[in-house]
Amino acid sequence: MIIEKLMKDLIQLHKIGKELGLSKKEVNQVLFYDNSKNKVILLIISIIIFSIVGYFIVFFIESTIRNTYPSGTKYSTVKIKDFDKKK
């Protein structure tokens, strides 16, 4: 739905540009405004976002690999004999 509306709007903008006597290149320049200053800011923000996401991915993987029990093992060292001694 949203993509269809966006495409209709773009087609309408091209028609308006042609009616005004603008070339296809001029219409595209207006639609896709190119500013190198904005590209640098966008690049910096994307690097920061990817760094944060990467940190959380590494943190999640490291926490799943980490030892489960305080004794440094992934498996419990409790045995059936230990339950018998408590009685």
The residue type of 48 is I
In order along its 87 residues, the chain shows pLDDT tens digits of: 777 877 787 788 878 888 888 887 777 776 666 666 677 777 888 899 999 999 999 988 887 777 666 666 666 666 777 666 555
DSSP character at residue 81: H
What is this structure's pTM?
0.41
If one counts the domains in the chain, the total is 2
Number of helical (H) and strand (E) elements in the chain, helices listed first: 4, 0
Please check whether residues 52 and 41 belong to one and the same domain.
Answer: yes
Please check whether residues 72 and 43 belong to one and the same domain.
Answer: yes
Query: Encoding tokens for residue 9?
Result: 């709007």
Backbone angles phi, psi at 10, to 5 degrees: -65, -40
Please check whether residues 2 and 21 belong to one and the same domain.
Answer: yes
Q: Which domain holds residue 55?
A: 35-87
